[in-house]
Amino acid sequence: MAARVITEHEGAALIYGEKGTGKTTIMRRLVTEMSNLPDRFHVATIAAGEHCPTPFQLVQEVIEGFGGECRSNNRKGRYDQLKTILLEDYRRSITPVLLIDEAQQLEAQALESLRGYLNFETATEKVLQIILFAMPNIVRKLAYVPSLRNRLVRTELDRMNEANLTKMLEWRFIQAGGKVFPFEPQALQELYRLTKGHPRTACGIAVLALEAAAARNTFITPSIIQEAASKRFVD
């Protein structure tokens, strides 16, 4: 969804979900993929909304995120400087993208100022693409910023079902260089039962189970999953 908003120049998207559902992972993957295409994308990131408690500070963070040096001590001057940066990218056929993690920490006035950034547009498309990553409580906060809320394409990240949890673990295992997936089917069932599909918790237990199985030169069994789970808090 976020990739579509960016490539189609739709303007803004919200990806939200409880802790550990993969928001920051998605953000990092987007940064990596776009950073590998510097002739197509110009990416600015804000690691946490709390870094920008006011619109004045937010626009400075955005300017600096795009590699600029903030030159003005008033909001309009900073706003105009940001507009210049974005339009210069657009003239070079480069898409500027702003990614904000922990966006639920932004105050309502700062969220409202993001709506203003979406006014940088041509006759057919938005110049700046904004992707927010947040906890579910941002939905309540956005009720006070309808001008932004109504422009967001939103996706809620939920806990995984058993099949998707297995696919995620298989993918991560392959990305880490693994060859033979070491989880017995019953072990995967036990992992899902214990974690109820929570991605971060499942990955944490899986890592401990891998270490235990490697030390014993064996496949991962339900009992190894239980042993690993006893060493972690399970959400």
| Range 137-165 average pLDDT | 92
Does the residue 193 lie in any domain? yes
Residue 172: give the domain boundaries. 162-229
Round the average pLDDT of the chain to a whole number and report it. Answer: 92
User: How does residue 32 score in pLDDT terms, banded at 50, 70 and 90?
Assistant: very high
Report how far apart the first and last C-alpha atoms of the chain are (Å, whole number). 27
This prediction's pTM: 0.81
Whether residue 177 sits in one domain with residue 144? no
Does the residue 235 lie in any domain? no
Whole-angstrom distance, CA of residue 133 vs CA of residue 207: 26
Alpha-carbon separation of residue 61 from 118, 127, 141 (angstroms): 17, 18, 21
Number of domains in the chain: 2
- Taking only the tens place, the pLDDT of each residue in 147-157 is 999 999 999 99
- For position 169, what pLDDT does the model report? 94
User: How does residue 125 score in pLDDT terms, banded at 50, 70 and 90?
Assistant: confident
Is the predicted pLDDT of residue 22 greater than 90, yes or no?
A: no
